[in-house]
Structure 1
Amino acid sequence: MWKQHIVGAVIATFIIAAAISFNPFSASGSDEHHWGLKRAKNGEPAEAGAQLDQLLEKYGAIYKGKPDKKVAYLTFDNGYENGFTESILDTLKKEKAPATFFLTGHYLESAPEIVKRMVKDGHTIGNHSYGHPNMARLTPDAMRTEWKKFDDKLRGLTGIKHTTYFRPPEGIFNAKLLEIGNAEGYRHIFWSVAFKDWERDVRRGADYAYNALIEQLHPGAVILMHTVAQDNAEALPRFIAEAKKQGYTFLSLDDLVLEHEDFPVALQSSTP
């Protein structure tokens, strides 16, 4: 895999800056935000609004790339396995499209061989917490426990030392979570394209997923899908093919970070 070495000096600078600014008792840290945005339409990027844009920018959190490049970023949330992830991995391999899989502790425990395949195929593993709690309501120590417990389990399974990217469960967050996450070496990744696809036993059909993806596709799109949905697995080949036909390229979250600055804050690393 490429781009997997930590840039030590950069991380140190970023963590020191985060630590200096961190005040766990600040009023801004107690506010709870539920991620939401104005959906993308006709190729125009999604918008979270000025207030959230400013908050995310302050802590280096990202939900979309630059609007002048036909680039998209595939991300998947995996809380549990439902039999469709390997089909998704087959499609990504065939299309040579990188993705980030945000996993929970349950997924690491219940689907270890699929996790190993994700890493072997060159995809990035993101931290989605160990137990999928509302992270914004946890104490700082409890937050750290969620991240560390996940990373420790992942390290034992794959050799990856420390995940770089974190996505808060259900998109619930506050300034406290962003600050503490930064100090622990995590970059928060949200999304600009999503649709209702997380209900395990509800089928809406491949066309539903395909149309939702195409309608919201925009330059710099960070796409969120859930692997429990058969609709997504069936729609993904057609979606990627159509996006490429429209001139889109699929890149990794490392590339997304590089769009926002001249160097990566941290890049995922693995043991020798």
Structure 2
Amino acid sequence: MESQAAAASGSYHFGFKKSRNGELPSIAQEGFLEVLKRHEAIFLGNTGEKELYLTFDNGYENGYTAQVLDVLKEKQVPAAFFVTGHYIKDQPELLKRMVSEGHLVGNHSWSHPDLSATPDGKIAEELDKVKAGVAEVTGQKEMKYLRPPRGIFSDRLLGAAKQLGYTSVFWSVAYKDWDTKDQKGAQYAYDKVMPQLHPGAVLLLHSVSRDNAEALGRIIDDARKLGFTFKSLDQLTVREYR
């Protein structure tokens, strides 16, 4: 998950040094550590506790979110789903189910643009439309979390989002799971996720992935066997940056 700062535009593409052998991942070399700190964005939770925060990006539906929700319900695991305008319009029943089953629905922007290159007024419009759309469909009035599309962000964007009441949420566990034409099986997903687990991890998975849907139950079970507890973003009280 390497990234490069776009110095001319002041934008960054979130990336991190992956966890290996239980070591904590790091963003120290990526050039945006102070930006995240300044705006109190989430990258890690409390690294002193074996806590995991499960999040999904939902730009569109590929037939696997119901299966994901079934697993989460069976295992009693909370999650956060970051949705776009397309998802709100296309999948109202799944949105209702997310909220009714106790999950958080977060903001992934209305049209999935590069928000770092979007004027402040348009940023507000992008985020307000998602919040209003989710409220209309599900009754969830509050929306506190933002995941910038494609992980592209800037100091200005995070500041504007914070003024609108959002905490920006990035991640410390991820792999290339979003390519629906390059799915390699549940074992592959399991093998990509499990070695990255670490205390305070924020996991990013994409619900369009068949591999994720099929591996999720085993990932949850085996993470618990290792002593990890799954918590909601609302329970994250300590942000760490490394």
TM superposition score category, shorter chain reference:
over 0.9
The answer as to 2:35 corresponding to 1:55 is yes
Matched-pair contact (CA < 8 Å) for 2:55–2:204: yes
Match of 2:232 among 243, 252, 259: 252
Task: Please point out which of 97, 106, 112 is paired with 1:132.
Answer: 112
Alignment of 1:198-237 (within 5 A): 198-237=178-217
The answer to whether 1:185 aligns with 2:162 is no
1:152: which partner in 2? 132
Matched with 1:31 is 10
Q: Deviations over 1:144-186 (max 9, x none)?
A: 1100111111111111223100000000000000111011100
Paired position in structure 2 for 1:42: 21
Q: How far did 1:30 drift? A: 4.5
* 1:46 partner letter: P
Write the letter of the residue equivalent to 1:71: E
Give the counterpart of 1:70 among 37, 50, 55: 50
State yes or no: 1:109 paired with 2:82: no
Give, in whole Å, the separation in 1 of the partners of 2:134 and 2:194: 33
Partner amino acid, structure 2, of 1:249: T
Alpha-carbon RMSD: 1.5
Which of 59, 79, 85 is equivalent to 1:79? 59
Alignment partner of 1:259: what SS?
A: coil
Q: Distance in 2 between matches of 1:93 and 1:210?
A: 19
Conservation of the 8 A alpha-carbon contact between 1:164 and 1:187? yes
What amino acid is the match of 1:236?
L
Name the structure with the higher helix share. 1
- Matched AA of 2:53: Y
Contact conserved, 1:128 with 1:168, CA < 8 A, in 2?
yes
Provide the rounded CA distance (Å) in 1 between the counterparts of 2:8 and 2:60.
Answer: 30
| Counterpart for residue 168 of structure 1 | 148
Query: Per-residue deviation at 1:201?
Result: 2.9
Pairwise CA distance, 1:29: 11
Partner of 2:3: none
Contact in 1 for aligned 2:43/2:239 (Cα 8 Å): no
Which residue pairs with 1:89 in the alignment?
69
Gaps spanning 5+ residues in structure 1: where?
1-27, 262-272
Contact 1:30 1:176 in 2 (8 A): no
Q: TM-score, normalised by structure 1?
A: 0.83
C-alpha displacement at 1:45, in angstroms? 1.6
TM-score (norm 2): 0.93
Q: Structure 1 pair 29/103, CA: closer, same or farther in 2 (3 Å)?
A: farther
Deviation at 1:240, TM superposition (A): 0.5
1:146 and 1:128 map into 2 onto residues whose CA distance is 9
1:160 is paired with a residue whose SS is: coil
Segments of structure 2 that go 5 or more residues without pairing to the other structure are 1-6
Q: Select the structure of larger CA radius of gyration.
A: 1
| Separation of aligned partners in 2, 1:187 and 1:29 | 25
